[in-house]
């Protein structure tokens, strides 16, 4: 479950790897839909188990979890699972080419390679030990797709490969009650 939690947080922060060189994304409310799969099927089984647990969660506990995520700048409807999240990008973050992420020093990345509207980058993390690649394709200032492949080693020393795909779209300039997540 720890690896799953880290992968979910990493996927939410994947947008933070988007330094817009020639193109900027629009400030406002963004929806990020994602799918994740591991080569051994364990991640899919964990996601299914988590979905089952979320569906059985009492309404007050669900609301508390949604509020906890919201305090971190991530909007999630727990009843729909964690495949779709919402984040708010402030005008200042967009102007600084900064997107929300948690930078805790566990990961480093090579400089972004850009060719037209496609960006590629490699990264290495220490906890859990992992390395991978990201490819992001901007579709104007209001949409992008991303694909991340991560090779990780679990605490038992077993290697795993996880692939995550995202589709992000701008929902509008007004973030409602969702506050921008802390930047880099």
Instruction: Quick: pLDDT tens for 81-136.
Output: 557 788 888 888 877 755 455 556 778 888 778 787 888 889 898 877 889 999 98
pLDDT tens by residue, 160-183: 898 989 899 999 999 988 888 765
Phi, psi of 44 (to 5 degrees): -65, -40
Distance between CA atoms of residues 113 and 115, nearest Å: 7
Q: Identify which has the larger pLDDT, 75 or 139.
A: 139
Inside any domain, residue 179: no
140 domain residue, yes or no? yes
Looking at the structure of the chain, the number of domains it has is: 1
The C-alpha R_g of the chain, in whole angstroms, comes to 16
SS3 call for 99: coil
More confident residue, 14 or 59: 59
Q: Alpha-carbon torsion 64, 69, 126, 161, what sign? A: positive
User: Residue 25 falls within a domain, yes or no?
Assistant: yes
Inside any domain, residue 15: yes
Q: Does the reported pTM lie above 0.85?
A: no
Dig out the tokens for 57 from the structure: 């969660």
For residue 146, CA distances in Å to 1, 11, 133, 168 come to 24, 10, 10, 8
In a domain, 180, yes or no: no
> Over the chain, what is the mean pLDDT?
76
Q: How confident is the model at residue 17 (pLDDT cuts 50, 70, 90)?
A: very low
Could you list the beta-strand ranges (E) of the chain.
28-38, 74-75, 84-89, 107-109, 113-115, 118-126, 129-138, 143-153, 159-172
Q: Rounded distance, CA 117 to CA 78, Å?
A: 33
Q: Are 146 and 27 in contact (CB under 8 A)?
A: no
36 within some domain: yes
Residue 178 lies in a domain: no
Domain residues for 16? Answer: 2-172
Instruction: Judge whether 183 lies within some domain.
Output: no
């Amino acid at each position: 479950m720890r690896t799953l939690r880290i992968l979910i947080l990493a996927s939410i922060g994947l947008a933070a790897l988007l330094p817009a060189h020639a193109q900027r994304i629009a400030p406002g409310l963004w929806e990020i839909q994602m799918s994740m799969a591991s080569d051994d099927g364990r991640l899919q089984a964990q996601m299914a188990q988590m979905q089952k647990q979320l569906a059985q969660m009492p309404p007050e506990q669900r609301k508390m979890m949604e509020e906890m995520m919201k305090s971190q700048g991530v909007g999630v409807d727990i009843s729909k699972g964690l495949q779709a999240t919402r984040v708010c990008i402030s005008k200042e973050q967009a102007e600084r080419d900064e997107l929300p992420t948690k930078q805790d020093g566990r990961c480093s990345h090579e400089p972004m390679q850009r060719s037209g509207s496609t960006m590629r980058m490699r990264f290495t993390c220490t906890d859990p030990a992992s390395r991978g690649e990201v490819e992001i394709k901007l579709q104007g200032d209001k949409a992008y797709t991303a694909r991340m492949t991560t090779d990780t080693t679990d605490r038992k020393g077993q290697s795993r490969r996880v692939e995550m795909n995202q589709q992000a779209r701008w929902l509008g300039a007004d973030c409602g009650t969702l506050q921008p997540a802390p930047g880099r």
